[in-house]
Structure 1
Amino acid sequence: MTRRALSLTLLATLLSVAAARPVAIGGQLTSPRVETKTLPSGQEGLPVWFLTRLGVDVLLNSPSEIRLRFANRELRWTGAWSTPSLSAPEQLGGSWHVSLDVLRALGVTQVEDAPDIVDFPAPAAQGLTPETAPASAYFSPFPTPVQPPVSVPAPAPSPSPAPSAPPAAPEEGARLASTRTSRTLRRALETQRVVLELTKGAQYSVTRDERGVTLVLADTAGDVSAQTLESGDSLTVTPGSGNLHVRLETGANGASTVFTLDDPPRIVVDTVTNLDPSVTPPPDVDKLPAGVMYRNVGKLHLVSFDDTRFEPRVVSAPLGQAKGVADLVRDAGAIAGVNGGYFDPKSALPVDLVARGGMMVAPSLERRATLGFTDSSVLFGFPKPRYVLSGPWGSLTVNTVGAAARPQWLTLFVADGRTPVGAGDLVTLFLDLGKNVVSGVANGVTMPRAGDVTVTFDPKRFPNLPRFIGGPAKLDLMWQANGWETVREALAAGPLLVDDGKVVVDPVREGFDTGSNVWRPTRQVAFAVLSGKPTIAYFEQGTPEEFARALASVGVTRALRLDSGSSATVFFGGGYLNTVWSRPVPNAIVFVPKVSTTAAGR
């Protein structure tokens, strides 16, 4: 290639990359000055937060979704634009940017598009969009007040003073260029943003009280103003003594956060208010911990977890009690959770299998799909667990698990410290599982301590059982399914929705009455596996079959429905996927951080 050809090729390459240009609105350059940006792709674009100054209504600005509206047109980006062939948003300097072709597709016209300027028409109204960016280097905390100078005697005049240069002009302070506000609602959670845009950085102080927040901007000028915001809050700006006082009255229920942004320098006040405590707050999907991934496809919501960071566990409220899923999550030190299996609302007792710590604390119906958690995997199946009590005297299968004893059955109970066991002429054995012996014997009604494992029986029906301390008695939990030997926790619910990526709903096999409320169209939850990761799935409304088809369509390989309807609750990111409160539940599946071997050994 000749030198001339190489030069022409280089020139063409440089021209293909958009150059940044100053932005004008209505023929006036923006103040503070804003320029278009050369995006990583080479496209020319603008930050999403700036578009409100052009009259664009920014409905959502997040890493997973951007929604823009101008006049009667709306564009939505969720991995792809709702209008094909548009350039994807790009992140630059901590803010999301869109190329100018997106603005043109919205109908935002350019009065002038010249090499040295891009001019947009002045909008009829202005708004504001949520945005995220690093803290500004333009700002610093309000300084300590300077002490007055100490008076000293003036020196004697010099007989021949040297000529001095004229004093330098004092540096001009900052000025409040504009004030912008926006208000967004997510259910009953109101987020209000106030942005103070300055001509240059300024030092400031923040004072909070029960009714709002006050900012004092040092060496900053501005015009007196007072306005009532869309939320009903009031914002006043008052200059005085070289400083600028900004007061935002938010009321007692508002919680305000103050931070700064760059390019141009801005001070931002975000106020969050729960307008109706009876409505569940939504999760903050933009601030999830590393290893937690959220995806939304239509009515289907999926929360997946990195299994090298988090592990699922079965947790329960005290026997006969129910608690909110959020409370069960917090009690376990977990980051997320979903309600568990079916239960009797009157007694709050599970109606199917619950196993924790290798112990079956609620018996199995032995016909419905079950989740099993080992230290390294999640199992789906129909294991039909049974306790077997054995010794030199023989072996017996435990009939049921619970506190209520029946004379004709062998009844096991993992005590909660509040519930008595035994009755009449029945005998209760206390088992030492570590030594495989009887550690105590009681007749009639007795109150075991929390954690005690007891077996209650009629000695006339089961005469071979040892009834003395030290008598041999070994208890084994038999899962009757390959691979379940190391299961530490388990929960039964059903039906099984998806297996090997295919819909496998079979209500007859699992004993469900499709004419009952259990099968009605309602909100649904499931424990699933997506891309090899344990996942909580939430379906806003539908039948189990519709839920299963939705899961299979997005690539879920296995899924088991949990108790749904009014019990369906998914808590993560500090909020709920369900839009209305659900009733308390006796058990839940939660995700807790794994403790690394290195950290545990320190």
Structure 2
Amino acid sequence: MKFGQNRGRKAEVRTLGLGLLVLVAAALLAGTAGARPTAIGGVRQSAGVDSKLLAGTEMLAVWTLPRLGVSVRNDPLDLRLLLGKRELRYAPGQGWTALGFALGGPLPAPVTEGGSLHVPLRALELLGVRVLTDTPGLLGFAAPVSVPTATLLPSDGGPERPVIRTPVAAPPPAPAAQPVPPASPAPAPAQTPPRIQPVPSLPAPTPPPLVPTLSVPRVANLDTVRISRTLYRTVEVQRLVLDLSAPVSQTVSQTVSRETGGLGVFLPGVTVTGSQQTLPGGDTLTLTQTSSGAALRLTTGGGRSEIFTLDDPFRVVIDTTTYTDASVPPPLNPDDLPAGVTYRSRGRLHLLSFDPALFQPRVVSAPLGRSLAVAELVKSAGGVAGVNGGYFDPRSSLPVDLVAVGGLMTAASLEKRATVGFTAGGEALFGYPRPRYVLSGPFGSVTVNSVRATPSAALLTAFVGDGKTVVGGTGLTTLLLAPGSASVTRALTGQITPPARTLAFTFDPTRFPALPREAGAPLTVTLNWQATDAPWENAVDALSAGPLLVQGGRVALDPRREGFNTAAGVWRPTRQSALGTVNGQPTIAYFEYGTPEAFAAALAGAGVRDAVRMDSGSSATAYLQGGYAGLGAYLNTVWSQPVPNAIVFVPRGVAGQK
């Protein structure tokens, strides 16, 4: 757990889209001098609640307003403040709108400072918040009659359009039970009750054992509890924020206990009104006062929680991620990408770019005749991300076009389709190579006809051994060579099983009498790429798929050249994937739905320089490790079928070990 740390990147929780619901009363004085300390109900608040002078106007942070009884929607694109029957709304470009009363003049726009949204003090005057003290040294508000009892939450589609959720009613308090004040040498300050209703009769969670010499030199009060819940596809992200009037006296990380289906937190020296609430996502939050502090129990029913603290003002934050439906792939979390990975989206187009100084693209294949999920292929290579590869026969899981891995061609090329390749240094190549194995020796040279395990007496066939597949046959000779060798390692007749990554060449000696037939005979193997459109002689990995979508930043579709039937299913509108480059960075592209023409136009419009489409439709997959709570992240919104190969991005150190 990253708990007990001031995580600046989470500053002021602006993704909460939160606030709290309901009503309260009264009238506020307009004129103010500048930034001032703040009191509520005669109790001086922490420094984080002080007003601030921003853009020449005294302002208060929106997240503090529920303490004054104001329900808020804390969304800079759709800010809402509600008190009784009066409501103020603000949207950029539209300004302030008053519901239930008249503005009566211009109102300064909200200002974001330190990650928090602030509103002018006059907005509270217009809502009717009551001021008790308005002096240069203090701004004092009346304690609200009640505190909001529900949360204005983000909509299930994301944080940009919050909706109001109906509050969950808590059971009535049991009058017989009374909370025990905390053991502290200092008197406890007057409390502002949390937003949820008191239920003192609930059983207290068992706090973790404390250090016997624990002292509580300072007492804090749990002022408010704020909740947000956002659904990203079927991943629910719930944030629970506990606002305290002062920092707790002991490091909170020492007081967290994992429990079945949730967690418990003990806050020493903190006062709280006992309560229980069912949260919008179905979790249960229980707060209980003990003799030495506040105990919190969050029952998540299997969700994965992360807990940390933030300062100024002091807050305890619990993020819980729950995968609610495994039939849908979990989405990418754009706020938590690996270093060196950049994500961009433009309409239906999604792009993942990789810093070439940190990552190297590689072609990774499943065992011969098998298909695996892209995530499995990524993990098998120690990678961080991957996209599905080229076309294949779904019955046999064998590729139908070129596959080259580590300088060895494992599947033959159709010699007409667009190909993406990679050099040993990770440079991406795009073009139309026609690679062939060439055997050379004292006899001259001969070009290999086919790359496959099944022999043919009429052909010279090549195969890269996997230690399992049988090659050769009756009356046929098979030569075995290690990659880079200048002589035959073994020469055999009949059926044999070549070791992994051993080159095997099978032929009928009566048809190829010049080829050697004994071990030790001089023989070299080269991979002739037969290409003029890129330096393919330096390629070590390659995949053919097609069509070529973009070249030099322009749409480059030519289905006739590549032999595609535009009336067939492979050209239909569907989800699409590709491998390209953006500003010199190799990039995975995913298109939610459309034709190759629409995909190519979207890529060119997004600044992609070169791109080749991979197998699309039910195969299209773009995967990145991490995601919400480490579930993994997918650009595709539906699960895709397993594939025999993929392009995987491997960290440089790992790539060098393979």
Q: Relative to 1, partners in 2 of residues 1:89 and 1:352: Cα closer, same or farther, differing over 3 Å? A: farther
Q: 3-state DSSP class of the match of 1:467? A: coil
Deviations 1:325-350 (A, max 9, x none): 11111111111111111111111111
Whole-Å Cα distance in 2 between the matches of residues 309 and 582 of structure 1?
28
Aligned to 1:404: 454
Cα distance change on mapping 1:178 and 1:49 into 2, 3 Å = closer
Q: Is 2:547 aligned against 1:489?
A: no
Letter in 2 for 1:199: S
1:385 Cα offset (Å): 0.9
**C-alpha distance in 1 between matches for 2:61 and 2:503:** 64
**What is the CA distance between 1:52 and its match in structure 2?**
8.0
**Which of 376, 381, 400 is the aligned partner of 2:431?**
381
Cα gap change, 1:25 to 1:189, in 2 (>3 Å): farther
Secondary structure class of the residue paired with 1:518: helix
Q: 1:225 matched to which residue of 2?
A: 275
Residue 619 of structure 2 is matched in structure 1 by: 567
Q: CA deviation at 1:182?
A: 1.7
Scaled by the length of structure 1, what TM-score is found?
0.79
Corresponding residue to 2:518 among 461, 468, 474: 468
Give 1:34's match in structure 2, choosing from 24, 36, 49.
49
Q: Tell me if the contact between 1:233 and 1:249 (Cα under 8 Å) persists in the aligned partners.
A: yes
Q: What's the secondary structure of 1:545's corresponding residue? A: helix
- What is the Cα deviation at residue 144 of structure 1? 4.9
Aligned mate of 2:322, from 251, 273, 279 = 273
Q: Give the Cα–Cα distance (whole angstroms) in 2 for the partners of residues 460 and 554 of structure 1.
A: 57
Q: 1:581 aligns with which of 616, 628, 639?
A: 639
- CA distance in structure 2 between the aligned counterparts of 1:580 and 1:507, rounded to whole angstroms: 28
CA pair 555-273 structure 1, distance change in 2 beyond 3 A: same
Pairwise mapping of residues 15-164 of structure 1 onto structure 2 (< 5 A)?
20=35, 34-35=49-50, 55-57=71-73, 68=78, 70=80, 92=114, 96-98=115-117, 100=119, 126-127=151-152, 144-146=210-212
Aligned to 1:358, which of 402, 407, 424?
407
How many matched pairs?
535
- Which residue type is aligned with residue 317 of structure 1? A
Deviations along 1:297-325, whole A, 9 cap, x unmatched? 11111111111111111111111111111
Q: 1:595 and 2:653 equivalent?
A: yes
Q: Using a 3 Å threshold, how does the CA distance of structure 1 residues 42 and 595 change in structure 2: closer, same or farther?
A: farther
Partner residue, 1:501: 553
| 2:464 counterpart residue number | 414
The corresponding residue for 2:219 is 173
Q: C-alpha distance in 1, partners of 2:36/2:65?
A: 16
Whether the 8 Å CA contact 2:331–2:637 is kept in 1: the answer is: yes
SS at match of 1:286: coil
Shift of 1:361: 0.8
Paired with 2:350 and 2:61, the residues of 1 have a C-alpha distance of 29
Q: Classify the secondary structure of the residue corresponding to 1:459.
A: coil
1:546 is the counterpart of 2:598: yes
Cα separation, 1, equivalents of 2:507 and 2:553? 46
Distance 1:588 1:313 in 2: 8
Look up the equivalent residue of 1:413 and give its one-letter code: F
The equivalent residue for 1:343 is 392
Question: How far has the Cα of 1:491 moved from its partner?
Answer: 0.9
Relative to structure 1, the CA distance from residue 463 to residue 125 in structure 2 (aligned partners, 3 Å threshold; closer, same or farther) is same
Partner of 2:572: 520
Q: 1:505 to 1:70 in 2, by over 3 A?
A: farther
**Structure 2 matches for 1:239-318, cutoff 5 A?**
239-251=289-301, 253-318=302-367
Q: What is the CA distance between 1:475 and its match in structure 2?
A: 0.7
Q: Secondary structure at the match of 2:372?
A: coil
Query: Quick one: distance in 1 between partners of 2:214 and 2:608?
Result: 71
27 and 480 in structure 1: CA distance in 2 versus 1, 3 angstrom threshold: farther
Secondary structure class of the residue paired with 1:365: coil
Which residues of structure 1 form unaligned runs of 5+? 1-17, 60-65, 132-140, 150-169
CA distance in 2, matches of 1:87, 1:20: 17
CA gap 1:513/1:232 in 2 versus in 1, 3 angstroms: same
Does residue 213 (structure 1) correspond to residue 263 (structure 2)? The answer is yes
Listed one character per residue, the Cα deviations across residues 141-184 of structure 1 (whole Å, up to 9, x for unaligned) are 989523599xxxxxxxxxxxxxxxxxxxx966111111222211
Match in the other structure for 1:194: 240
* SS of aligned partner of 2:469: coil
Per the alignment, residue 182 of structure 1 pairs with 228
User: 1:125 Cα deviation (Å)?
Assistant: 5.0
CA distance in 2, matches of 1:516, 1:73: 57
Match for 1:568: what amino acid?
A
**Match of 2:49, as an amino acid?**
V
Structure-2 change in CA distance of 1:148 and 1:316 (3 Å):
closer
User: 2:418: which partner in 1?
Assistant: 369
Is the deviation greater in 29-38 or in 335-344?
29-38
The RMSD of aligned alpha carbons is 3.9
Per-residue CA deviations over 1:170-199 (Å, capped at 9, x if unaligned) read: 966111111222211111111122222111
Q: Matched residues in 2 for 1:356 and 1:148: separation?
A: 62
- What displacement does 1:91 show? 7.0
- Structure 1 residues 248 and 148: CA distance shift in structure 2, 3 A: closer
Give the unaligned 5+ runs of structure 2: 1-32, 82-86, 96-107, 160-206, 627-632
Offset at residue 263 of structure 1 (A): 2.0
Q: Does 1:456 align with 2:471?
A: no
Aligned to 1:436, the other structure's residue is in SS state: coil
3-state SS in 2 of match to 1:426: strand
